[in-house]
Structure 1
Amino acid sequence: MERVDEFHYQLPRRFGGWRPGAQRGLSQGSGQEFAAHRRLFDHPDPRRIDLRASVREGRGDWLVRIHRLRVAIPVHLVVDVSASMHFGAARRKLEVVADLAEALGYSAFRSGDTVGLLAFDQREREDLFVPARHSRGTGSLMARMLRDCRAAPGTVPHGSSSALAGLRRTTERLVGRGGLVFLASDFHWPIAALGELLRQLAPACVVPVVVWDPAETEPPPARALVALSDAESGVRRSLWMRESLRARWRDAVAERRAELRTLFDAHGMPPFHLHGRFDAEALTRYFLETAA
């Protein structure tokens, strides 16, 4: 059996719920995180009497320790499966996301969380829907579905708002719910209206996963005639790769990266980049930095 990568996520907010898990909860109970001292009369559990605190209090009341629960949360992976996500020089971008899905399923299972999959292109891809559940094999199932996925026929140019419309329909079931949502896409479509959807998902912790291939971010090294094809529209054109064009290519990539960073930072959601491969340790560091 192949080894599955695992990453650890600790979120910066508390969640409601009673199912035991690894995330910080709002409810009080027999947890390990100390919350406050309360009178034994109000919370009649002699097992939790704190003798030292009772003596220090000085009013003759017996005090008990109150703790907060650690709870399980729903985790969803929302994946863009439009034509551009099927591009990749060494591996398709969708296969890199499949590695993330497999690691996510294993990591969520180990944390006691439920995990599910939603996908979209110009519409909601109901054939790629996996309801959130707590199962050891959910990650492998999601990864296999993404690796077997093929671009739907009849795609339209990514300059339209169809990808955002598909995303909006797909995430309707997540609006107003808490938990953790990974939004994986190359975002090769207009993102001006994406802010409204991010606000609707605000009760959840959203992690934008920007999936780019090295062949997209770095132009060909040699001066040559290069044939390019738009993955979304199928439009083909030839360009002479001169040095000025290479500089414009790099500037466009940097500008798009900054645009995405500005949008997501404005909503308190710093993006995580997948650049040709999935790195579980880098994702663990991402959560350690954002939860600090």
Structure 2
Amino acid sequence: MSQASDFYYRLPLRAGGQRPGSHPGTSHGNGQEFVTHASLMSHPDPRRLDVRASLRDVRGEWLVRVMRQRVGVPVQLVADVSASMLFGARRSKLAVLADLARAIGASAFRVGDAAGMVAFDTVEREDLYVPTSLSRGVGHVMAAQLENPALVEHAEAGERHRGDPVEGLLQALQRLAGRQCLLFLASDFHFPLARLDEALDTLSRAYVVPVILWDPAETEPPPANGLIALRDAETAARRTMWLRPKLREEWRDAVAARRASLQTFFSNRGLRPFWAQGAFDADAMSEYFFEANA
């Protein structure tokens, strides 16, 4: 079992809710952020009495401090477990996704948030569903689901069946539609983006972090010229090609174009993707949230 490296995260916006936590909230309560003064009659909490403000009040009322409390926010991992996630030169993208799941569980537990997971390939994978929990080990439970050998066998068998992963994503997101949460959408996004807008529209109240998992072997072509056998990771379609400098250049251009299209797609929705290539870097994820809160 891999060690879970946690990361720092805070929502850069105010969240609703009554459960105390570490995120900026919209509700009034036993917090440390001063909002305003109010009459003791309207807010009968003598512990918050402000004597100096009361003596200065022109109406002669007793005034109490009204504070805004911090709240807890559920953390959800939406995991792509389609066949292309099995690819990887040293470690599969599915293994990197399991590292992310462990890190999310450890990070959420450290700040007192509940964490859970939904998964999809061409359909929602109900067998991999992990309900939100405040448990210390929820990250390891999610990772164990993603590292289960039966999942690999299912994905390999699924290579023979064409399908739209966005359809599976839409099904999985029905559990989360309209909920306020911090949501990590983890995938290699090796599918058409045309319907992804429809999926993201269901997450209007969530703070979405797209996590793009790529492997160096798919972004950088082999260095030597020669005959290579290629296989589509999703459909298992095979093709033989002669690798030469021109094809290598086209390969890199296609990767750059796809990266740019993903960046543009998410930017147009006000989202900033997090790129994980070959491994998950917890420090880089912390930096992502530092920049979001700057």
Question: TM class by shorter-chain length?
Answer: over 0.9
Which residues of structure 2 form unaligned runs of 5+? Answer: none
How many residue pairs get aligned? The number is: 290
- Residue 164 of structure 1 pairs with residue 166 of structure 2: yes
In the other structure, the counterpart of 1:109 is 109
- Residue 242 of structure 1 pairs with residue 244 of structure 2: yes
- Residue 60 of structure 1 pairs with residue 64 of structure 2: no
In the other structure, the counterpart of 1:78 is 78
In the other structure, the counterpart of 1:155 is 159
Residue among 219, 237, 259 paired with 2:221: 219
Deviation string 1:11-52 (CA, Å, 9 cap, x unpaired) is: 122222211211122110111122222122321222212234
The answer on whether the counterparts of 1:122 and 1:155 sit within 8 Å (CA) in structure 2 is: no
Distance 1:57 1:255, change over 3 A: farther
Aligned counterparts of 2:199 and 2:158: Cα–Cα separation in 1? 25
Correspondence 1:81-230 to 2 at 5 A: 81-148=81-148, 149-150=151-152, 151-152=154-155, 153-155=157-159, 162-230=164-232
In the other structure, the counterpart of 2:277 is 275
Percent identity, aligned pairs only, is 56
Deviation string 1:119-148 (CA, Å, 9 cap, x unpaired) is: 111111111111111101110111111112
In the other structure, the counterpart of 1:251 is 253
The answer on whether the counterparts of 1:21 and 1:112 sit within 8 Å (CA) in structure 2 is: yes
Which residues of structure 1 form unaligned runs of 5+? Answer: none
> TM-score when scaled to structure 1?
0.94
> TM-score when scaled to structure 2?
0.93
For residue 65 of structure 1, give the secondary structure of its aligned residue in structure 2: strand
Distance 1:289 1:157, change over 3 A: farther
More divergent stretch after superposition (91-100 vs 42-51): 42-51
| 1:232 Cα deviation from its structure 2 partner | 1.2
Deviation string 1:37-76 (CA, Å, 9 cap, x unpaired) is: 2122321222212234334544433322111111111111
In the other structure, the counterpart of 2:22 is 22
For residue 38 of structure 1, give the secondary structure of its aligned residue in structure 2: strand
Superposed CA RMSD in Å reads 1.7
Aligned counterparts of 1:188 and 1:63: Cα–Cα separation in 2? 59
Aligned counterparts of 1:231 and 1:182: Cα–Cα separation in 2? 23
The answer on whether the counterparts of 1:199 and 1:267 sit within 8 Å (CA) in structure 2 is: no
The answer on whether the counterparts of 2:166 and 2:199 sit within 8 Å (CA) in structure 1 is: no
